[in-house]
Amino acid sequence: MSDAHIDAPLVDSRVIDGDTIDAAIGLRLPIRIEGIDTPELRVAGQLAAALVAQSHTRIWIQQARHNQQTIMARATALGQYGRLVGDLYLPATGETLSGYLLAAGVAVKSEDGRRHQWTDEELRRIERLAP
């Protein structure tokens, strides 16, 4: 991973999965949410749980926009696949997307950046958290 330092307002976004957002911050770049892992859309057996995590990410962004809160994108590194590594946050409250997803129970901490090995029990628990 190489260094990147970006702290810019989120102009527009498209949620790719629970922990990756295609963010428009002057230019459009994918941001991998740092320090967490959510189930993956393209991994066998994880689709239903991944869709729940993706929904929670969308809800966080939609609620912030509905409440007319500024969403900031902070990136600290350039990671795998050309994605920025960072987080989204609300300056007014300090709330982060990663913190929200962890509290909602649809993400796990991932300090080393490795993918979590999801158990069937964990995936079923996340599926029950569908909004």
CB 21 within 8 A of CB 31: yes
Domains of the chain by residue range: 2-121
pLDDT on residue 83: 87
According to CATH, what is the number of the domain 2-121?
2.40.50.90
Residue 2 pLDDT greater than 80, yes or no:
no
**Residue, of 114 and 68, whose pLDDT is higher:** 68
Residue ranges of the alpha helices (H) in the chain? 47-66, 97-104, 120-127
Q: What is the pLDDT of residues 6-60, one digit of tens each?
A: 899 999 999 999 999 999 988 888 999 999 999 999 999 999 999 999 999 999 9
Nearest to 32 by CA among 80, 73, 84, 82: 84
Residue 124 pLDDT greater than 90, yes or no:
yes
pLDDT band at 114 (very low <50, low <70, confident <90, very high): confident
CB 88 within 8 A of CB 31: yes
Cα–Cα distance, 99 to 67 (Å, whole number): 19
Burial of 119 (0-12, 13-18, 19+ CB in 10 A): exposed
Which residues sit opposite 18 in a β-bridge? Answer: none
Q: Mutual orientation of helices 47-66 and 97-104 as an angle, nearest 10°?
A: 130
Question: pLDDT exceeding 90 applies to what percent of the chain?
Answer: 80
Average pLDDT over residues 78-106: 94
Average pLDDT over residues 92-111: 96
